């Protein structure tokens, strides 16, 4: 990488480097550089066609939606229909069916013309922090010919694998804006019941991987209430993780969390500033098999859209359309096959409209996680332990934790499997 002196310019001036046929990569989630994506939307009509490589955006979709699949070819590991619904995206939107580790290797094998990132103000040595998203950010800068960074005074200076020197940045755009916050919701009764079952599977000294949402936050709250000790958190850090640390439930020696993404409230983002209790790392240090082999008693907690009587998971398809992405669940469920580790799928037995989430067979032709990797499935009605079970035994376990209104139908279906 050549030494660079960044030019401090406006967003439109920075994005003027984008030319027809270029490939642009951007960071995502709460670290999406919104000011830069808005400038890209203004630029795309003059620079089309552009290929944009991205994960899950939030506010960025608002600016880019009229152009996605049209002037901008989108290649993404998170399909935007999940957030946008039916918005009439153009034809040039394509999904990358990759796990989180595979996504990292995919980016490492590509060359990008431009990458868009967001950074904190620099320290005395000229180092910026990539803040609340370290999974892919530094890799993208290494694989890009031109690096454009939005300098946001709201971005916390986090510790770990987070530093990028100003000399590694071509264009610096000073633009302060609030980071997208995820509200901390109080668990409902059903989520709390599910969380109680999951907490029973997590011992003291475990490494806990939980996602984002009501059930994962409920699990973390249940662990605090149960007084678990010496826990290590990994993957994604939320307000529930902070509460566990402050309750004295996590390890005292070194970081209490080794994660790649922070997703929470504005107060959590401020708490993260120069906080050594959370170590931000790239994907291979959080999700890869070598990294997971070094963890103590990993308990991986994920959810899914539906699970069938075999234990197969569909985490991607709603109706006939791709929704969301694969993410890190498969990486962690593979890691959970290592000695001393375990994986848990936690979900309500029905949707909010009463439709079953435990079905006879996933019939859409797409299985996100094969039955061979699924160990525990938890609903509000209990725990199904599928380890070492025959196909018929699995079906009985799954029916036992299904909603009572759907058990008779599942029993009939099980006889035909």
pLDDT at 121 > cutoff 60: yes
> What separation in angstroms does the CA of 253 have from each of 276, 311, 344, 382?
11, 38, 27, 35
pLDDT at 240 > cutoff 50: yes
Report pLDDT for 1: 43
Q: Is 387 left (phi over 0), alpha (psi -120 to 50) or beta?
A: beta
pLDDT digits (tens, 9 = 90+) for 187-223: 899 999 999 999 999 999 999 999 888 999 999 999 9
Residue range(s) in the chain whose domain bears CATH number 3.40.1080.10? 7-174
Fold of domain 189-414: Glutaconate Coenzyme A-transferase (3.40.1080)
pLDDT, average across residues 156-177: 98
Tokens of 13: 């001036």
CA 18 to CA 199: how far, in whole Å? 50
Residue range(s) in the chain whose domain bears CATH number 3.40.1080.20? 189-414
CA angle 149, 155, 160 (to 5 degrees): 90
pTM over 0.85: yes
Fold of domain 7-174: Glutaconate Coenzyme A-transferase (3.40.1080)
Report pLDDT for 267: 98
pLDDT, average across residues 270-295: 98
- The partner residues of 79 in beta bridges, in order of sequence, read 324
pLDDT at 346 > cutoff 60: yes
Hey, CA dihedral for 158, 271, 208, 107, is it positive or negative?
A: negative
Higher per-residue confidence, 282 vs 69: 282
Tokens of 175: 């633009």
CA 113 to CA 147: how far, in whole Å? 9
CA 60 to CA 36: how far, in whole Å? 9
- The partner residues of 320 in beta bridges, in order of sequence, read none
pLDDT digits (tens, 9 = 90+) for 38-86: 999 999 989 999 999 999 988 888 888 888 878 999 899 988 655 555 4
CA 107 to CA 286: how far, in whole Å? 16
């Amino acid at each position: 990488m050549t030494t660079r002196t960044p030019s401090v310019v406006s967003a439109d001036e920075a994005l003027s480097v984008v030319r027809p046929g270029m490939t642009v990569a951007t960071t995502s989630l709460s670290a999406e550089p919104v000011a830069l994506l808005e400038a890209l939307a203004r630029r795309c009509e003059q620079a089309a066609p552009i290929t944009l490589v991205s994960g899950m955006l939030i506010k960025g979709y608002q600016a880019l939606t009229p152009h996605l699949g049209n002037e901008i070819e989108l290649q993404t590991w998170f399909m935007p229909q999940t957030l946008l619904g039916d918005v009439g995206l153009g034809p040039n939107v394509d999904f990358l069916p990759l796990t989180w580790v595979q996504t990292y290797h995919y980016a490492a094998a590509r060359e990008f013309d431009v990458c868009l990132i967001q950074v904190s103000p620099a320290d005395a040595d000229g180092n910026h922090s990539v803040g609340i998203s370290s999974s892919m950010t530094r890799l993208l800068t290494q694989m890009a010919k031109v690096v454009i960074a939005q300098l946001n005074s709201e971005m916390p200076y986090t510790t770990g694998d987070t530093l990028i020197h100003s000399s590694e940045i071509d264009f610096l755009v000073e633009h302060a804006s609030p980071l997208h916050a995820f509200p901390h919701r109080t668990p409902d009764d059903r989520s709390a019941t599910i969380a109680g079952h999951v907490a029973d599977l997590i011992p003291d000294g475990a490494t806990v991987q939980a996602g984002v949402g009501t059930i994962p936050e409920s699990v973390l709250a249940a662990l605090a209430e149960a007084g678990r000790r010496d826990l290590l958190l990994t993957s994604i850090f939320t307000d529930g993780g902070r509460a566990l640390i402050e309750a004295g439930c996590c390890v005292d020696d070194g970081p209490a969390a080794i994660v790649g993404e922070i997703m929470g409230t504005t107060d959590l983002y401020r708490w993260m500033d120069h906080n050594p209790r959370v170590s931000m790392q790239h994907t291979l240090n959080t999700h890869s098999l070598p990294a997971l082999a070094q963890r103590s008693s990993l308990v991986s907690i994920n959810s899914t859209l539906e699970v069938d009587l075999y234990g197969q998971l569909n985490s991607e398809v709603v109706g006939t359309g791709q929704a969301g992405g694969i993410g890190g669940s498969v990486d962690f469920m593979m890691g959970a096959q290592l000695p001393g580790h375990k994986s848990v799928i936690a979900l309500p037995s029905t949707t909010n409209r009463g439709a079953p989430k435990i079905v006879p067979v996933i019939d859409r032709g797409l299985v996100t996680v094969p039955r061979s990797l699924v160990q525990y499935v938890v609903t509000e009605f209990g725990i199904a332990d599928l380890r070492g079970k025959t196909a018929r035994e699995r079906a009985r376990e799954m029916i036992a934790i299904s909603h009572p209104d759907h058990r008779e139908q599942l029993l009939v279906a099980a006889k035909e499997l």
